[in-house]
Amino acid sequence: MSTTKRVSVITTPIYYVNDLPHVGHAYTTIAADTLARARRLGGQDVFFLTGTDEHGQNIERIARERGISEQEHCDAISAAFRSLWDRYDIRYDRFIRTTEDVHRRGVLKLWARLRGAKTPDGRDAVYLGKYSGWYCPRCEGFKDEEELRQPDNVCPDHERPCEWTEEENFFFRLSAYEGWLRETIESDRLRIRPDSRRNEILGVIKQGLKDFSVSRARVKWGIAVPEQPDHVLYVWVDALSNYVTALGFADDGEAYRHYWAGGDERLHLIGKDIIRFHCLYWPAILHAAGVPVPTREFAQGFITRDGRKLSKTTGNVIDPVALVQRLGPDAARYFVLREAPYGADWDFTDSAFVGRYNADLANDLGNLVSRALTMAAKYCDGKVPPRWEPSVPEGVGPARAVDFTEMFATSVCVPNDGLAAKVLGRYEDIDFSGALTELWGWIGQFNQAIVQAQPWSLAKDPARRGELEAFLYRLLEGVRLVAVLVSPVMPRAASRIFGMLGVGEREPTPGDLAWGRLEPGRPLGSILPLFPRVDRDGEPKSGSEDAPATKTATKKQKETPVSETTPPPAPKPEAAPAAAATAATAGDRIDIAEFAKVELRAAKITAAEKIAGSKKLVRLQVDLGSDVRQVVAGIADAYEAEALVGKTVIVVANLKPAKLMGVESNGMVLAGSIDGKAVLCSFDAEVAPGTKVK
């Protein structure tokens, strides 16, 4: 193992097994997995830890209600967490359970150190005292009276009355570490982010810290206190200790010495509701015990749904299993990390999930991959084209052969200001939304560059063959690099893109960040839809090229505008002379009410391909603002399919679906005709998709 690599440990909270996993658990774990993958991609040495907290009074109660043992209950819920992480492609290095023996031994070792520890002013760090106060069994914690709702001293979190409790406990003397904690946080030796959470913790310290209980007399399911076996160690010593016990703290194991004691960073990703315990209790406990403390804590925000707080009672929930089943793990991971800055509160809606999937994944990334590979397959015999790299100064990277290529041909070679450095830097800052925004900016530029460079036109001129191949090579390299840099968020999609590029489905490595890894002449893989478009309910769009076909057109089929079950339209008359047109009678015209029935809207073409067996028909995917739909148009003899992408056209949006050569069309593109060739109706200024045409 190289000693020059940056070494870090990344943890999620260990999740309490009082219930099945919820979306907040998934959110934190996806974030931690993404950061770990990004660091590995950057060549760092990372240990990613997660697990389950399995002790406490609630577990006793739930197991009793279910008629099973505490261990049986813990086994079942812990397995549910691991199963969910498999669904989300979470790749942790260790899953710790607090019922494991290695954890119990590590906790007792830490407890022994605390029992012998002295505070800065020479007093015992742990002492035996009596506690009296309002106790919430569901929280398994004491509440200050000002926290409770009246009447009946109701817990604000669980909305149940608290119990007045008096018992003898062991206490940790947190008040004695107030000055040390303040200085550690203000100096950023313990870096708490976002800044609002750092300020919150400093505000708590300013108010004065209270000692807290570290044992419980009323709980049996836990780790017994050696000096007093009728007590068990409370969550602050038991559960929080997992961060070191999982690494082998009990036996001073190699992983503990390498990643925790000797690592460059010890990072906890946590929910903002548990920052006091992680940013005050836990560092003070470790400091008192002579164990290295965390160096960084990052608190995520809360998720609401449709503007309302998540609640099982009201049924306003986001099921993480249903979420991943709906559109797959890559889409779910992308959405929760892209929708809002990590650390901020944000609102989940089904329409936003499906909308971002269609816009960002199907239209932007999916179309880029499809267009780049389709053109390479068509114009370069299904192989990676030659590089055609002109000479450039050492350390600068490949120069451009076509205008747009400079922006990514040199980007990876710029150490501090290139695309890779920017995106990996965003990941490192735990700014997942920012990293993805950076990447999608480039995806948009790549798609626009295809329209500007018009490789289909270059392909018609043998003298420009080198320019075409240089463009396509750089475009494929751009796609490859996008796959590399998006892989921490969407590992499956990245692997599939690698497969289509002919380099084999695999996880990217640090070496893949270099420019020019595609070998000219290598056969490309099969081109498959990366993210099939879906309707508002998350189902594959009917008639889409991405959806399973129900009927297949054969070569013998004649070009016909309708299916067998659809009445044929009236034949189109030849264009009438102008004089005849002026002589039309009122009976040949429609009134404004009839015309108002026709819904004309602006639509942006996001994908286009010729329909096999037809000389005129082209299958279009058009963005109408509120949805993306498939339209078939008879314009292939006038426009190259690739040249249509990005154009804004006018569509009759309320036509009933019809089939043309077995392909469903959901609308009609308006066009005129010059010398027998179609000319699309368009606009002389930018018009947003979905705009009504009057």
Q: Which CATH number characterizes residue 154's domain?
A: 2.170.220.10
Question: How far apart (Å, rounded) are the C-alpha atoms in residues 180 and 287?
Answer: 9
3-state secondary structure of 537: coil
Clarify whether residues 104 and 126 are in a common domain: no
- Which pLDDT score, from 0 to 100, does residue 102 have? 98
Report d(CA 621, CA 616) in Å as an integer: 16
Residue 604 lies in a domain: yes
385 assigned to some structural domain: yes
Closest to 198 (Cα-Cα) out of 209, 213, 187: 187
- 642 and 666 share one domain: yes
Question: Residue 372 and residue 139: Cα distance in Å, rounded?
Answer: 55
Q: Let me know whether 86 and 160 are in one domain.
A: no
Q: How many helices (H) and strands (E) does the chain have?
A: 24, 26
Paired residues of 269 in beta bridges: 298
CA distance 467 to 536: 42
**Which one of 485, 513, 541 terminates a domain?**
513
**435 found inside a domain:** yes
Predicted confidence at residue 409, as pLDDT, reads 44
Residue 342 within any structural domain of the chain: no
CA dihedral 299, 305, 308, 311 (to 10 degrees): -80
Tokens of 379: 């114009």
Active site residues: 22, 25, 136, 139, 155, 158, 309, 312
List CB contacts of 330: < 8 A, sequence separation 6 or more: 89, 361, 489, 490, 491, 492, 493, 531
**Domain with 256 in it:** 7-113+234-324
Owner of token pair 């420019």? 515
Token look-up 């005292």 returns 129
pLDDT computed for residue 692 by the predictor: 84
pLDDT at 271 (0 to 100) = 95
One domain, residues 278 and 417: no
| Same domain flag for 140 and 208 | yes
CA 303 to chain CA mean position, Å: 14
Closest CA to 642 of 409, 367, 364, 405: 367
d(CA 220, CA 230): 8
Overall domain count for the chain: 4
What CATH number has the domain bearing residue 438? 1.10.730.10
Do the Cβ atoms of 639 and 618 come closer than 8 Å? yes
Query: What does the alpha-carbon distance between residue 179 and residue 63 come to, in Å, rounded to a whole number?
Result: 43
As a whole number of angstroms, the distance between CA 278 and CA 241 comes to: 11
Identify whether residues 193 and 212 lie together within a single domain. yes
- For residue 168, what are the β-bridge partners? 130
Residue 16 and residue 102 in one domain: yes
SS (H, E, C) 351-381: HHHHHHHHHHHHHHHHHHHHHHHHHHHHHCC
| Half-sphere exposure for 321 (CA within 13 Å, toward CB) | 7
Closest CA to 404 of 476, 452, 336: 452
Q: Which of 200, 230, 260 is the last residue of a domain?
A: 230
On whether residue 399 sits in a domain, the answer given is yes
In a shared domain, residues 271 and 314: yes
pLDDT at 310: 86
Q: How far is CA 507 from CA 40, 41, 101, 536, 688, in A?
A: 11, 9, 34, 32, 38
> Running along the chain, 694 residues long, what does each successive block of 10 average in pLDDT?
77 96 96 98 97 95 96 97 98 98 98 97 95 74 77 80 85 97 98 97 96 91 95 94 98 98 98 96 98 98 91 86 96 97 94 95 96 96 83 39 40 51 94 96 89 92 92 93 97 98 96 91 96 84 42 30 29 36 49 74 86 81 80 87 86 84 84 79 81 84
Q: Note the pLDDT of residue 675.
A: 66
Q: Are 326 and 540 in contact (CB under 8 A)?
A: no
pLDDT value of position 434: 96
Which pTM does this prediction carry? Answer: 0.78
Name the nearest CA neighbour of 401 among 386, 421, 414, 412.
386
Q: Are 34 and 75 contained in the same domain?
A: yes
d(CA 9, CA 267): 6
**In the chain, what's the furthest Cα-to-Cα distance?**
109
pLDDT at 78: 97
Judge if 474 and 360 occupy the same domain. yes
Q: How far is 386 from 533, CA to CA, in rounded Å?
A: 33
From the list 673, 675, 668, the residue with the least C-alpha distance to 693 is 668
Q: How many CB atoms lie within 10 A of CB 69?
A: 12
| Shared-domain flag, residues 469 and 573 | no
Q: Identify the domain boundary among 495, 513, 531.
A: 513
**Of the candidates 348, 211, 353, 339, which has an alpha carbon nearest to the alpha carbon of residue 280?**
211
Give yes or no for a contact between 331 and 227, defined as CB atoms under 8 angstroms apart.
Answer: no
* 431 alpha carbon, distance to own chain's centre: 12
391 is a domain residue: yes
List residues bridging with 16 in a β-sheet.
53
Residue 217 lies in a domain: yes
Closest to 139 in 3D by CA, of 211, 213, 71, 80 = 213
Site of tokens 């108010």: 207
Residue 563 has φ and ψ, to the nearest 5°, of: -85, 175
Give CA–CA dist 329/30, Å, rounded.
10
User: Element (H or E) spanning 472, and its range?
Assistant: helix 465-486
State the residue for tokens 């997660």. 50
Q: Are 173 and 190 in a shared domain?
A: yes
Answer yes or no: is 339 within a domain.
Answer: no
How far lies 432's CA from each of 56, 159, 398, in Å? 35, 35, 29
Give the residue ranges of DSSP H helices in 339-464: 350-356, 367-379, 406-409, 419-428, 432-453, 455-458
Cα separation, 690 vs 3, whole angstroms: 57
Q: Which residues make beta-bridge pairs with 215?
A: 233
In DSSP terms, 46 is beta-bridged to 8
